[in-house]
Amino acid sequence: MLKKSFITDIKNMLSAARQKAYAAINSAMVEVYWNIGKRIFEEEQQGKERADYGTFLIKELTKHLTEEFGKGFDERELRRMRQFYQTFPIRDALRPELSWTHYRIILRVDSPTARQYYVAETAAQSWSTRQLERNINTLYYERLLSTQNKRAALLDEQNMEKASSSDIIKNPYVLEFLGLKWPTGYSESEIESAIISNLQAFLLELGKGFSFVGRQYRIKTDTKVFYIDLVFYNYILKCFVLIDLKINELTHQDIGQMDMYVRMFEDLKKTEGDNPTIGIILCAEKDHTIVKYSMLEENKQLFASKYRLVLPTEEELRAELEREKQLIHEQIGKKD
């Protein structure tokens, strides 16, 4: 009878070897496609006096490569390789953690800063191609920039000490992975249960550095016991993050309740070395008048963000982010 540990060791060796081979193949593909794109671009530049030379070159090249190597080298793919070189002209700056499929997805992003963000985060957080595509489709980067005082969206973990609490907050949060169809009437406890059942996806949506602490977290004073919906810890900002779920529009009472939770957590739970606790109210809707004339306006540790239970279109998300941006600019203008 073979020892279980012996069998496990052999399996781990094979898995590690396969992973290493897979990474090497991915790296080789990325490099060769970059080189092909560079070569196409250079050849086109030599024939630039002929307006239609680029189209002719790619069409002819497609024919020759398909005859020799089969599928995978159609005109669209060769144009993508050329775009890859033009978008990332420094070969040494390519990230070995990203596959060709990762880069194909990132090439759809128009903004250079957003592309830089997605490359860095995919490498740092080991995003799968599916996670990357979902984050791009839900404007992950733009939602990070939608709240006030965003300075650190592109900071790596070595420089995150420069970040403030607002730098981790999105607005809105997109929770389509919960599988709850809006506007069907769900209770806060049902949404909370769905989050726990999809905790990994929720942590990804929350962002960098979050770890789960507890659900219906019990906090007790001398006279009363309270329960906070969800508690997390952000190991980059070194602070607790409290989340309160609301199925209706944001109210003053919701803000006051979260302020009390944060104050209690600061007094009863925060340990030496922890930074100030953050409180996030996730609500179905929020009135900016409520935000403006409440403690949310001045308190740097309290936030209210909308959540969406269905995946909005890119146009809907962009329109919502533009409204948020305009309101923030108006508020800043009035203060000045």
Residue at a domain's end among 42, 65, 94: 94
Residue at a domain's end among 79, 94, 109: 94
Report for 57-66, 136-145, 224-233: range of highest mean pLDDT: 224-233
297 found inside a domain = yes
Provide the CATH number for the domain around residue 188.
Answer: 3.40.1350.10
Q: How confident is the model at residue 332 (pLDDT cuts 50, 70, 90)?
A: low
The answer, yes or no, to whether residue 134 has pLDDT greater than 70, is yes
- Report pTM: 0.80
The answer, yes or no, to whether residue 239 has pLDDT greater than 90, is yes
pLDDT at 148: 47
Instruction: Assess whether 316 and 196 both reside in one domain.
Output: yes
Structural domains in the chain (count):
2
pLDDT at 138: 93
Place of tokens 């790596």: 156
The sign of the dihedral angle between the CA atoms of 98, 101, 102, 103 is: positive
Secondary structure element (H or E) that encloses residue 259, with its range: helix 252-268
Instruction: Assess whether 87 and 220 both reside in one domain.
Output: no
Q: Mean pLDDT for the chain?
A: 86
Domain containing residue 33? 4-94
103 found inside a domain = no
Residue at a domain's end among 33, 68, 94: 94
Instruction: Assess whether 316 and 225 both reside in one domain.
Output: yes
The pLDDT tens digits for 139-183 are 999 888 865 445 444 445 445 556 667 778 888 899 999 988 766
Instruction: Assess whether 194 and 304 both reside in one domain.
Output: yes
152 found inside a domain = no
Q: How confident is the model at residue 331 (pLDDT cuts 50, 70, 90)?
A: low
128 found inside a domain = no
Say if strands 239-249 and 225-234 run parallel, antiparallel, or are unpaired.
antiparallel
Closest to 30 measured CA to CA, from 104, 87, 134, 106 = 104
Instruction: Assess whether 206 and 319 both reside in one domain.
Output: yes
pLDDT at 100: 95
The pLDDT tens digits for 194-207 are 999 999 999 999 98
142 found inside a domain = no
313-318: Cβ within 8 A, 24+ apart? 314/137, 314/139, 317/138, 317/139, 317/142, 317/143, 317/172, 317/174, 318/139, 318/142
The answer, yes or no, to whether residue 49 has pLDDT greater than 90, is no
The pLDDT tens digits for 8-24 are 888 899 998 988 888 78
